Amino acid sequence: MWPLVAALLLASACCGSAQLLFNKTKSVEFTFCNETVVIPCFVTNVEAENINEMYVKWKFKGKDIYTFDGVVNKSGNHPDFKSARIEVSELLKGDASLKMAKSEAVLGNYTCEVTELSREGETIIELKYRVVPWFSPKENILIVIFPIFAILLFWGQFGIKTLKYKSSHMDEKTIAVLVAGLAITVIIIVGAILFVPGEYSVKNSTGLGLIVTSTGLLILLHYYVFKTTLGITSSIIAILVIQLLTYVLAVVGLSLCISACIPMHGPLLISGLVIFALVQLLGLVYMKFVASNQKTIQPPRKAVEEPLNAFKESKGMMNDE
């Protein structure tokens, strides 16, 4: 025993190493994406070979939030920091870093105090929070603008449909499309309101989900507008299929963005939404082009509908006169 103490005394006397030295870290940051928060504390000159020579104390605002006593091999937690712990097995390597759940991580200055027999030292680390926006400002704008653009184009198509093909098709189905169009417009507006710039949140992702869903519903209406005006030709099928594929692209992008916490897949989602709107534009241009090339517009009718429509038309004309 005495030779050991003498050796220790000698060691501390000769090299002036009564202090434990730390790899100093001024501050650490965490974001929404960190589930556990690690506050680093590394002692560089640990000499202890047994854990019972070590004592660790973490302090925050004057109170002890976590202690580990190697002599009794026991740790103690403050009630406000129940999840706080250190990796005891790493302690002899000098690692006394404190881990805790994000929910308990209070911002501020934490003190790491390590004692090894008679040597001791402490270091202060500031814990900070960094807001990481879910999407960049540019991406936010694109995500909102293009679906709104797509819905405006739908209303353009609906306008052409009601103006050019009015007489024969102002029926319940048209009214249903009108109502559905209004509903989608409301969904997209609500989505855009919820989808505010900022970090990932349930509100944000709900908004984005609504925006993407509404563009999907738009495909059905697009199909219906075509069906009741130009009829379903192969070019229209092509337009609709491309639109469906870009919608799938957007949905895949959306689910990746939601699952990845920090979205690296924003471009996928955005290209889906942009191409979707461009195809909607193509649909409008095509419809306008075909409509203006038709001298008398003969919308496709089912055989059964024809006599009925003819009847309605003649009745309408009689009423007008």
Q: Site residues (CB under 6 A) for ligand NAG?
A: 23, 28, 30, 34, 37-38, 42, 44, 51, 73, 94, 107-109, 126
Q: Each residue of 261-290: b (16+ CB within 10 Å) or e?
A: bebebbebbbbbbbbbbbbbebbbebbeeb
Residue whose CB is less far from ligand NAG, 25 or 271: 25
Assess contact for 82 and 137: CB atoms under 8 A. no
H/E stretch holding 54 reads strand 54-60
Which DSSP string do the residues of 79-133 spell out, in sequence order? GGGTT-EE-GGGGGGTB--EEEEGGG---EEEEEEEEETTEEEEEEEEEEE----
Q: How far apart are CA 107 and CA 126, in angstroms?
A: 8
Alpha carbon 206 to its chain's center: 10
Closest to ligand NAG by CB, 37 vs 150, is 37
Residue pair 142/194 in contact by the 8 Å Cβ criterion: no
Q: Which is nearer to ligand NAG, 35 or 306 (CB)?
A: 35
What is the rounded CA–CA span in Å between residue 253 and residue 55? Answer: 50
Taking the least distance from each CB to ligand NAG, the nearer of 4 and 72 is: 72
Find out whether 291 and 285 touch, Cβ atoms under 8 Å.
no
- CB 3 → ligand NAG: shortest distance, Å? 24
Nearest distance from C-beta of residue 86 to ligand NAG, angstroms: 12
Cβ closer to ligand NAG: 28 or 291? 28
97 versus 204: smaller Cβ distance to ligand NAG: 97
Q: Which residues contact 99 (CB under 8 A, 6 or more apart)?
A: 36, 37, 38, 83, 84, 85, 86, 87
- Closest CB 20 distance from ligand NAG, rounded Å: 12
Residue placing its CB nearer to ligand NAG in the complex, 110 or 276: 110
The 3-state DSSP class for residue 40 equals coil
